[in-house]
Structure 1
Amino acid sequence: MIGGETDTARGSAMAGAALLAAGAALHGGAGRVYVSLLGDGAPMLDAAQPELMFRRAGALDLPALTVVCGCGGGEAVRDVLPAVLAQAPRLVLDADALNAIAADAALQAALQARAGQATVLTPHPLEAARLLGTGTRTVQGDRLRAAMELAERFRCGVVLKGSGSVIAAPGQVPRINPTGNARLATAGTGDVLAGLAGALLAGGGDAFGAACAAAYRHGALANAWPADSALTAGALARRLTP
């Protein structure tokens, strides 16, 4: 997991997204999970999840890893993206990574150059609009077309999040995920989805299959959630354990 911007003034306040994604990968079956928090003052231990192993971004052996990038990270994620896009054999891009790519033509070209490698984008409608150079209203007006256009433009798997998440990939018939409910609107559940998709890629899944399976399992857990219990992203990640 690469993300979770920190600095000495805010401490680990921005690290939650990366830790949620890492927890989802851990409970989703990824096995060994490394966390790389960006910026100064990054903690090197999560006491609630001591299984997670913290590393500086420059110490990661990217060619040997499945990488989930952009769950937090802010502007700092832009600096690590060229190496991640060039070296990671299996990659999930979320949130801040998607926004950085949308604003940088060189990063867009680097993403397109990954064609043939396992890559999954997990945008919400605004992030999708930025990547496509359009508006959220246009994306929401034809979600199927937007997901397919993203998949074709960047030659990768796409989960366009929202009510009826759309999963698309080049050469595949797109799917509309049938699971999930409004409880998934709570903060951090998108980070859980990204971490789960990364775990499924790490297990040998292809981009489209991992994206479909992650969206389905993520939503199915929300559907089965006890009516008298609040759904939080951290609890959702822990429920991923088979």
Structure 2
Amino acid sequence: MGPQAIVFDMDGTLTDTEEIWDVVRRGLAADAGLAWPDGSTQAMMGMSTMEWARHLVEVVGLPYEPQEAARRTIEGMAGAYRRGIHVLPGAVEAVRRMGERYPIAIASSSPRLLIDTGIEVMGLADVVTVSVSTEEVERGKPAPDGYLRACELLGVDPAQCVAVEDATNGIKSALAAGMAVVAVPPHFHPPAAELLARTTVLETLDELTHELVEGLVA
């Protein structure tokens, strides 16, 4: 017995890119002479591309159409990826360890290009069975759509699966999908304590073991 699948978030969970997203977006605002609004960093975590692109235009005030704001941001991120993604400690090992027993999926708010690039750079293409971008579903995180789609593609019951997340919107998304959630919260804008109380909190992915995930869906 055990989980039917393990579904990982990518940004902030496997790769340390949340701060890069923030730097790129803040850079676009600074180039346009705009102050960065309080709360925008947290608000955009987990949003789909068009959701955060609209936020950049409507809340931050970038003087572009949302599609152009998205294009400029993704190009900035792609440049950072080409210079090398910072993979979080134990991330690749954890995915491979889970892949020894369970199907593996990734459900990420990143655009498809960045998900595929990340999987390739981490050398996990042979382990990840399914990947979903929230661009490919109706709603981004904190809605459950991305996680539900990953489980649908794997042919598994979300209630019998474990999600591995880091950020507030991602945790809410996985919980809304009915999944057991393992949280590895960042020191950069950690989720609220009351939300983490609904998850199993780990310090690092080195602590993600077969015994742990089997206990979560028993």
Give the TM bin, normalised by the shorter chain: 0.3 to 0.5
TM-score, normalised on structure 1?
0.39
TM-score, normalised on structure 2?
0.42
